[in-house]
Amino acid sequence: MQSKANSRFYELDLLRFLAALSVLLYHYTFGATRIFATPEFSLDKLLRYGYLGVDAFFMISGYVVLLSAMHKSPKYFFISRVVRLYPAFWISCLLTFVILYFGKITPPGIPVVNFKLLAYNLTMLQGFFGKPDLNGVFWTLTYEIGFYFIILLIAALKLWKNLLLLLFLWLCYTFIAGPNTASNALYFLLIPKYSCCFIAGMLCYLLRIKYAPPWKIYLLLAICYPLNIKHDIAILQNMNDYYHDAGAYRSYVMIAIVTCLYIFFLLSAHGKLYTPKLKYPAKSGVLTYPLYLLHGFGIAAFITWGNQLNKYVMLTVVSTFMIFVSYIVYRYIEQKFQPLLKSFITKITDSWLS
């Protein structure tokens, strides 16, 4: 079994990459087809459910963020998250702005693309300021930051011993608020629409480290799972409304996929999925974040040449190219600038706290 001292869980790294790939394929084979009338794919009957890769992302965040933050200082957690998130995000943000501003493109939901909107987006806090996202995928980062703030509060107040109580109270709020709560301060902080995903990941990590008697954790998971399904059904209905197709998504397929995610995390929590054979495939996990942020640019290829070239060749070439671009961003942006950003922020926080 994998050592507790080893913070790399190969199965989660691999799942992270597969989740990003599923979102990419969903956008290329279904989302773009419905929105931009790009070529249809017979594979979209399954690949359209790739949007559930977001559920996997949030469950992984619940698991690994708790792993990296538990019993660590708030300063350590804050710096580690900023360094992890911002370099690749800034690249995606700037590229999106250049394309929209100089191409004079006005996507739905963004009334005016200007330098002021860019400034808001560069903070990654545009959602909290009530400003639109420059890039459609940025919405998930608002939820991530809300979750990070919760973890930061727990770290600052040293509430690690009270995690199960806090998670139970969070589930209670999630049940009362429902998935379609109007945007307000509590909505951004406690993210009821997707909170079950974060909570499930956290509970599975607590199960792995034997934080409490297993029955207590399983009890919370037994509450979390049906609530997660309930909220995902509401999201599914919203997706059908968005695409103006009541039959676009079937709840039983979604339930099966989410159930598989829960089973996967439970097996991981018990160390049943660990194998050294995953070490090298799991390295693809480092490409996840840039791939998620940048893959939307590939849709332009389907809009431009989708009806002129073989669509399956295009799908293969564009997907491979975006993975390659993600590697370039990881290798030459994230690896180069993360240490510099970490040093800079550490100096600033040290001067403030001194």
d(CA 151, CA 145): 10
d(CA 52, CA 232): 9
Largest CA distance in the chain: 63
Q: Are 141 and 67 in contact (CB under 8 A)?
A: no
Give 180's pLDDT tier (boundaries 50, 70, 90).
confident
Question: How far does CA 205 lie from the centroid of its chain?
Answer: 18
- Please tell me whether the overall predicted TM-score, pTM, comes out greater than 0.85 for this model: yes
pLDDT value of position 313: 95
> Tokens 């942006």, residue?
333
Give 104's pLDDT tier (boundaries 50, 70, 90).
confident
d(CA 128, CA 126): 5
d(CA 93, CA 341): 17
d(CA 241, CA 236): 9
Say which residues have a Cβ less than 8 Å from residue 137's Cβ, sequence separation at least 6: 23, 292, 293, 295, 296
Question: How far does CA 182 lie from the centroid of its chain?
Answer: 21
d(CA 27, CA 153): 35
350 has a pLDDT exceeding 90: no
Give 23's pLDDT tier (boundaries 50, 70, 90).
very high
Q: Stretch 122-141: mean pLDDT, rounded?
A: 92
pLDDT value of position 206: 98
pLDDT value of position 71: 84
d(CA 178, CA 193): 7
pLDDT value of position 7: 52
Q: Stretch 336-352: mean pLDDT, rounded?
A: 90
Give 274's pLDDT tier (boundaries 50, 70, 90).
confident
Give 353's pLDDT tier (boundaries 50, 70, 90).
low
Angle between the N-to-C axes of helices 139-157 and 53-69, in degrees from 0 to 180, rounded to the nearest 10 = 20
Query: Phi/psi at 182 (nearest 5 deg)?
Result: -65, 145
CA atoms within 13 A on the CB side of 343: 5
354 has a pLDDT exceeding 80: no
pLDDT value of position 263: 98
CA geometry: angle at 242 spanning 195 and 303, to 5°? 110
d(CA 233, CA 55): 13
30 has a pLDDT exceeding 60: yes
Smallest Cα–Cα separation from 137: which of 127, 150, 149?
Answer: 127
d(CA 270, CA 123): 38
242 has a pLDDT exceeding 50: yes
- Stronger pLDDT, 340 or 6, i.e. the higher one: 340
200 has a pLDDT exceeding 90: yes
Give 5's pLDDT tier (boundaries 50, 70, 90).
very low
pLDDT value of position 14: 96
Least confident residue range of 18-27, 103-112, 166-175, 228-237: 103-112
Angle between the N-to-C axes of helices 53-69 and 74-102, in degrees from 0 to 180, rounded to the nearest 10 = 150
Q: Average pLDDT of the chain?
A: 92
Question: How far does CA 111 lie from the centroid of its chain?
Answer: 26
Stated length of the chain: 354
pLDDT value of position 2: 44
d(CA 51, CA 253): 12
Q: How far are the Cα atoms of 2, 52, 191, 275 from residue 268, in angstroms, in the given order? A: 10, 19, 25, 11
Smallest Cα–Cα separation from 1: which of 284, 276, 279?
Answer: 276
- Stronger pLDDT, 111 or 12, i.e. the higher one: 12
119 has a pLDDT exceeding 90: yes
pLDDT tens per residue across span 293-332: 999 999 999 999 988 899 999 999 999 999 999 999 999 9
